[in-house]
Structure 1
Amino acid sequence: MTEPTAPPAPSAPPASDKRPFLYVVVCASGIAGEVGTLITAARQRGWDVGVVATPQGLGFLDTEAIEAQTGYPIRSAWRKPGEARPLPPADAIAVAPATFNTVNKWAAGISDTLALGILCEAYGTGVPIAVLPYLNAAQAAHPAYRQSLERLTGMGVLIGSHEPHRPKAGGGADGFRWTEALDLLEPGVPA
């Protein structure tokens, strides 16, 4: 009598079947709740997506809906030692919407949140990054913001074209081009 043989172990998909992985870093902004627009577009263009939110940005998101859409948990805090990594490594990062606070801290090398830590580290690892700022014109007029954009540009960060909206007016959401981040990233990211 021969012993039954185990079925062959499933093989990993060929490397060419692997979809590039995009981190979407979401900051605390009134339009953050619309990030599903970017996630949908990214998935349609062949990306797998994971979301990293700033601690304040997390409150602007429908966590359940985004996690269902991406298939991954939203990250906003560092892992504890020994915990598994909930997201694969990023092939590219889109920061959308990016606030005045995040842009300035990131350019200064401040890494006091997981989102900023990922952004600061990405520079050293060569991960391509596109940033779509969303702020008002009074914030954009501050010299630190202009200097931060210059520093980020010098680091190779791709900056989106959104125009700041009027202070205390909210708005500008209808002109926010979520997919511009993908347009900026795709030429440099291997499929």
Structure 2
Amino acid sequence: MTRTLYLFCSAAPPLFDVARVVEEAQARGWDVCLGLTPSAAEWVAGGIEGLAALTGHPVRSRYRRPGEPDLWPVPDAVLFAPATFNSVNALALGITDSFVVGVAAEAMGKGTPMAVMPCVNTALDRHPQFEQSLATLHNAGVRVLYGENGFHPNPPGEDHVPDFPWQLALDAADALATPSPY
């Protein structure tokens, strides 16, 4: 049985691994629908058609217009990774001005299993709103993959995140969509 994963990405350096991550998710039995923040869509603009061919679905970065069909199947799980400081805070505060944040916020309300793996630097990690946003998401039932249980923040100014734990993110997605034996 194929499971549907909404993979949402913000504009952070691990985004450049997204094709490999989609392929790995597909090897795990996921039908992947890829959603990007507007900035992330700009970062990979030259590869959007290839990513759409890889997933078999349109890559989305904007809300559909009234009357447009929704071409994605209903998700079994949502994985938001990498999630930037802005995306984490927007999701926690319910600020849905971007497609992926809006769909993720709605998925929370529907009870769709979700994991979020932030990708921030140590300076943003120390901002007081960030900790509150992570707690808000956790308390809303979102699996937050951060710190000891996920991504460790990197120093400011690094354009490369060599150890982004994509495997952990995909493992979390698998666990979210696996029915409990109890």
Equivalent residue runs for 1:91-106 within 5 Å: 91-106=76-91
Cα deviation digits, residues 107-145 of structure 1 (max 9, x gap): 001111111110111111111111111111001110100
CA distance in 2, matches of 1:33, 1:100: 18
**Offset at 1:170?**
2.6
Paired residues, what number? 173
Structure 1 counterpart of 2:142:
157
**Offset at 1:77?**
0.9
Contact 1:35 1:96 (8 Å CA) reproduced: no
What percentage of residue pairs aligned between the two structures are identical?
A: 37
CA distance in 1, matches of 2:114, 2:79: 6
Answer yes or no: is 1:180 the counterpart of 2:173: no
1:140 counterpart letter in structure 2: D
Contact 1:96 1:132 (8 Å CA) reproduced: yes
Q: What is the aligned counterpart of 1:136 among 115, 118, 121?
A: 121
Contact 1:29 1:60 (8 Å CA) reproduced: no
User: What runs of 5+ residues in structure 2 fail to find an aligned partner?
Assistant: none
Q: Which moved more, 1:142-151 or 1:78-87?
A: 78-87
Structure 2 counterpart of 1:167:
156
Answer yes or no: is 1:48 the counterpart of 2:25: no
RMSD over aligned Cα atoms: 1.3
Q: Secondary structure at the match of 2:53?
A: helix
Contact 2:80 2:115 (8 Å CA) reproduced: yes
Greater C-alpha radius of gyration: 1
Answer yes or no: is 1:39 the counterpart of 2:18: no
**Offset at 1:72?**
0.8
Larger helix proportion, structure 1 or 2? 2
1:169 counterpart letter in structure 2: E
Runs of 4+ residues deviating >4 angstroms:
none
Answer yes or no: is 1:59 the counterpart of 2:42: yes
**Offset at 1:190?**
4.0
CA distance in 2, matches of 1:57, 1:169: 17
CA distance in 2, matches of 1:93, 1:26: 11
State TM-score, norm by structure 2. Answer: 0.90
Structure 1 counterpart of 2:58:
73
